[in-house]
Amino acid sequence: MPGKNPTTKTGLKRPTRSPHEILRSRERDLAEAAPRHGGHALSRASKTRVLLPTDLHTALAAAVDVRPMMQRVLAASLALIGQADGAALELDDGKGHMVYACATGSLGPFEGLAIPRSGSLSGLTVESGITQKCDDTEHDPRADHEACLRVGAKSMICVPLHREGRVRGALKVSSSRPHEFTQSDVQVLTSLSEFLGAAVSGSADLVEATGQLLGNLGSGGRSRIGERALQVETFIADVVRPGMADGVAARQRIERAIRRGAVHVVGQPIVNIQTGQVVGVEALARFPKRPYRTPDLWFAEAHAVGLGVDLELLAIRSALSVLDRLPTQMYLAVNAGPLTICDERLTSLLVATQPDRIVLELTEHTAVGDYAPLLSSLTRLRRAGVRLAVDDTGSGISSLAHVLRLAPDVVKLDRALTMGIDQDPARRSLGAALVSFAGDIQAKVVAEGVETPSELDTLRRLGITLVQGYYLARPAPVQLLQCLLRTPPRWGPMLLQGNHLSGPAGLSAI
């Protein structure tokens, strides 16, 4: 029935409370304090990495978690006792059960399992305070045969967790084979009993102390002391998890930018230097002047706090609003990373516009781990008419194998390659090789970062006709680009260096 603890015929059940609630159940129920911490219970153990909360108060409540210490204890135990294939920390729930509060290896799938304390080896360990060894659970009357059969434990050692003269629980190491452990294993684990108890209980003490302090700050204290409360929280954060306070501030900053739509778009023309025609415009994101930081830092920070895809999507939405202002023969290039490309929201966004006028530039600063979902998303987009460009080619980020797997429509030569290409034979050789490579895979080449007439002339001699860069035009607000695009039938360096496009320098970073 709802609200009841399901119990099997053997008496095995699942607990309704978390590991350190069980650990501290005889002294304090931490769950009662959880609502004061923004609804995030201090005792809630998570198996996956969650997004950092924007409230430092809530972030601290989630950070002081006894579970990581438990996991380290179990991992070290398996490494120490090589014959063991499973380990668990069992805690007395105060209601007649020993609970697998944290488990790993062969016992991992049974984490949360509760077994009757009476008639179990771990229960005997807690009652006696003495390490117990079982060579064969099928024939040892001290063992709970039903529980051992369920978890597949044929032999095991249970070590009491001593702390300040009390036994708080037991560490169990087990094997799926009988007679696996020696008396030497018992001696080694017994010698660590006090340390193990201190490690686990000490973490729980930190949970309780932090919970009490945050509870006081959250129940009226915050309004009384204001800035002082924030200082106290920052102090705790610096002790518990260095860098967490900065991470919370970063997430607040990114969420604020997303909420306010604080991204505007500038455009940089992509010119066919053979015909003098502008064939497309790359949309580049710009952010508020305060705090000043380049766009690449904004996006890096957003990805670090789990909001990179959301910020990239905001920038792409802003960019797409520009499309109708460009002449119909021009395409719009927008930038997205692999995670954003795999997001269904991007597919819906691009397909709903004029996909045949969109070039999607794949930007990446780390290697693609799994190409399957990326290629699947790209296939859907390309079928709709979206063209693919691979950014940063020649910079060391986009390898030729990477380009081969993606088979892009456009290969973009990174500014690291074009810069000084007129003076560096090695750069020219690499550029010529990439032009030949692009031709073989039937892709066009766009060289970005062109800043001098000599670089432009060198690129022309290499057979590269599509270029962008400060020598041709700096990124500019779309209104200025509209005016210029309507005026000349042909573009050239002298025209594009006019005052109407000599605004502040921009960086491509979405």
Domain ranges of the chain: 19-203, 264-285+329-500
Ordered alpha helix ranges (H), 293-396: 295-304, 308-320, 338-341, 344-351, 371-383
Q: Which residues pair with 173 in a beta bridge?
A: 87, 157
Q: What's the CA gap between 168 and 164, in Å, rounded? A: 10
At 167, is the pLDDT very low, low, confident or very high (cuts 50, 70, 90)? confident
Q: Among 40-49, 225-234, 287-296, 369-378, whose mean pLDDT is lowest?
A: 40-49
Q: What's the CA gap between 189 and 88, in Å, rounded? A: 14
Whether the link from the prior residue into 269 is cis, omega within 30° of 0, is: no
Average pLDDT estimate for 451-457: 93
174's enclosing H/E stretch is strand 166-175
Answer whether 435's CB lies under 8 Å from 460's CB: no
Q: What does the pLDDT read at residue 213?
A: 66
Query: 389: which DSSP letter?
Result: E
For the stretch 112-122, pLDDT in tens is 899 999 999 99
Q: What's the CA gap between 436 and 261, in Å, rounded? A: 42
Q: Which residues pair with 390 in a beta bridge?
A: 362, 411
Within 8 A by CB and 6+ apart from 349, the residues are: 313, 316, 317, 320
Residue 22 has pLDDT above 70, yes or no: no
* Residue predicted with more confidence, 256 or 398: 256
Could you tell me the fold of the domain covering 264-285+329-500? TIM Barrel (3.20.20)
Average pLDDT estimate for 454-480: 90
At 496, is the pLDDT very low, low, confident or very high (cuts 50, 70, 90)? very low
Q: What's the CA gap between 173 and 353, in Å, rounded? A: 59
**pLDDT, the chain, mean:** 79
Burial of 208 (0-12, 13-18, 19+ CB in 10 A): buried
Burial of 187 (0-12, 13-18, 19+ CB in 10 A): exposed
Residue 315 has pLDDT above 70, yes or no: yes
CATH no. of 19-203: 3.30.450.40
Nearest to 468 by CA among 353, 396, 381, 391: 391
